[in-house]
Amino acid sequence: MTFRAHNSSDLDIGIRVEAFKWLHDQVAAVGDVLPIDLLRRGFTHEGARVPLMGPQGIFKPAVLPELPLSITTAPDGPYDDAFTSAGLLTYRYRGTDPDHRDNVGLRRAMKQQKPLVYFHGVAKSRYLAVWPVFIVGDDPATLAFLVAADDEHRADSAARNAGQIVSEVHEVEGRRAYITASVRVRLHQRGFRERVLRAYRDQCAICRLRHRDLLDAAHIIGDGESAGEPVVTNGLSLCKIHHAAFDHLIIGIRPDYVVEVHPKVLKESDGPMLRHGLQGLHNSSLVLPTARHNHPDRDRLRERYERYSRVA
């Protein structure tokens, strides 16, 4: 999409609309977790390069006249960005000076209700992209802004109509609260997936399948349970077939990292998938992460194996 700008306002609108379109295309091509090199390279607008991310969390590409385009939370970064009890994202100021130009830029974006992009680091050099997001609050006492997400399909109109008075305020706030809550879930899910798959070197821990699109990050103890934290030691990188078999207690994994297959399944007769994909894995060893601190937690495996044993 090319957007010919005749003044700074048109340029700002054009860059944001084109950025949203570019992100949509990248997510469609490679998924919603994007590599940092791609984001720093960005796209070209009327001959000018437009990166979407820079070295600082609050980022304005040089081609934009005044206001930031994106905000970023780096994985293991210096800022403790988190969600409030009301479900909004808290985004920390740059530094401790409320009048730093980056903080002033976000404050102005809030007043004009400019749509931004939020990048959340889910693993080293990999970011989940969320857009549009809006600065909806500013608290100098805690050196933080409040951020709400909105429907992606409203991104273009938000860029074109920024600053206009919204008549249905409660409807907008309710919609954004709901969408921001769903974003929070996505952040946790994608972060867990990226960390687990990276620890297992992008392969199934049972059959070694290396097609990333066919891999899941399986919980040993479910995320709704007390010991179900989204940490690598509570995860296994499994292909979709073995994830389903693990969830349905067709496969059990002992605390000594040995795979067992349900006795009934071992007695069945069927095609090669059953023989090689399930029966042939009985008493095989689990593929483990290289780093010992990422190995599956034995206590969690013991608890899960006890559930399997009761069925088997």
Q: What is the mean pLDDT of residues 124-144?
A: 94
Choose the weakest-confidence range: 29-33, 166-170, 196-200: 166-170
Report the percentage of the chain scoring pLDDT > 90. Answer: 71
Query: pLDDT tens, 260-298?
Result: 999 999 999 888 889 999 999 999 999 999 999 999 999
Residue 210 has pLDDT above 70, yes or no: yes
Q: What is the mean pLDDT of residues 135-145?
A: 95
Q: What is the mean pLDDT of residues 62-86?
A: 82
Residue 216 has pLDDT above 70, yes or no: yes
Q: What is the pLDDT of residue 206?
A: 98
Neighbour count for residue 143 (Cβ, 10 Å): 16
- 186 or 207, greater pLDDT: 207
Residue 125 has pLDDT above 70, yes or no: yes
Task: Output the pTM of the full model.
Answer: 0.80
HEC letters along the chain: CCCCCCCHHHHHHHHHHHHHHHHHHHHHHHCCEEEHHHHHHCEEECCEEECCCCCCCEECCCCCCCCCCEEEECCCCCCCCEECCCCCEEEECCCCCCCCHHHHHHHHHHHHCCCEEEEEEEECCEEEEEEEEEEEEEECCCCEEEEEECCHHHHHHHHHCCCCCCCCHHHHHHHHHHHHHHHHHHHHHHHHHHHHHHHCCCCCCCCCCCCHHHEEEEECCCCCCCCCCCCHHHEEEEEHHHHHHHHCCCEEECCCCEEEECHHHHHCCCCHHHHHHCHHHCCCECCCCCCHHHCCCHHHHHHHHHHHHHHC
- 154 or 105, greater pLDDT: 105
Average pLDDT, the chain: 91
Choose the weakest-confidence range: 4-13, 231-240, 262-271: 4-13
Residue 81 has pLDDT above 80, yes or no: no
Report the percentage of the chain scoring pLDDT > 70. Answer: 93
